[in-house]
């Protein structure tokens, strides 16, 4: 059990540190809304602060409501992730990495919300002026983890159920 929680701790801490270091770098070296093209016409570093959730949802709500809402949902989500993590098979390393990734990303964004009341985003992908909403390392960890979780659930090996016609094995 300790080894499993070591995986959760190590992966989560790596994601949190990379997330917070990159956000700090952006916040201290760029001014708000500054954009630096990295791959012209496709990718820029753009310093944005998002007071809302994904895609700016709830951005126009009062800051007090957002703080309470995000604190409660974050605590609930982190508790749910720990529950899923504990229920994973001890040899399910992919599931453990997946949950650890989501967990680390959630904490990374929660730190921003508690510190600033909003999340620092800076990865800006676009084509012909059509921008995907800017995101950060924590968002990337959460998104990749959720996609991986869906794949894990979709391809989960289930024990076949015995039909009434099939004899059960004698396990004496």
Determine whether 139 is an active site residue: yes
Strand partners, 119: 50
Instruction: Note if 121 is an active site residue.
Output: yes
Out of 19, 112, 124, 139, which one is annotated catalytic? 139
3-state secondary structure the chain: CHHHHHHHHHHHHHHHHHHHHHHHHHHHHCCCCCEEEEECCCEEEEEEEECCCHHHCCCCCCHHHHHHHHHHHHHHHHHHHHHHHHHCCCCCHHHHHHHHHHHHHHHHHHHHHHHHCCEEEEEEEEECCEECCCECHHHHHHHHHHHHHHHHHHCCCCCCCCCCCCCCCCCC
Q: Which of 19, 121, 124, 170 is catalytic?
A: 121
Catalytic residue annotation = 121, 139
């Amino acid at each position: 059990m300790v080894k499993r929680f070591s995986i959760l701790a190590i992966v989560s801490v790596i994601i949190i540190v990379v997330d917070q270091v990159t956000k700090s770098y952006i916040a201290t070296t760029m001014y708000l809304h500054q954009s630096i093209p990295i791959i012209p016409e496709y990718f820029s570093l753009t310093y944005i602060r998002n007071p809302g959730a994904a895609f700016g949802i709830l951005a126009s709500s009062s800051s007090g409501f957002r703080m309470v809402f995000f604190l409660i949902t974050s605590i609930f989500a982190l508790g749910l992730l720990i529950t899923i993590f504990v229920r994973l098979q001890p040899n399910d390393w992919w599931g453990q990495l997946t949950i650890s990734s989501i967990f680390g990303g959630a904490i990374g964004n929660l730190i921003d919300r508690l510190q600033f009341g909003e999340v620092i985003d800076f990865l800006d992908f676009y084509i012909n002026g059509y921008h995907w909403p800017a995101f950060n390392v924590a968002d990337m960890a959460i998104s990749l983890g959720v996609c991986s979780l869906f794949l894990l659930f979709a391809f989960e090996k289930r024990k076949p159920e015995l039909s009434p016609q099939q004899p059960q094995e004698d396990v004496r």
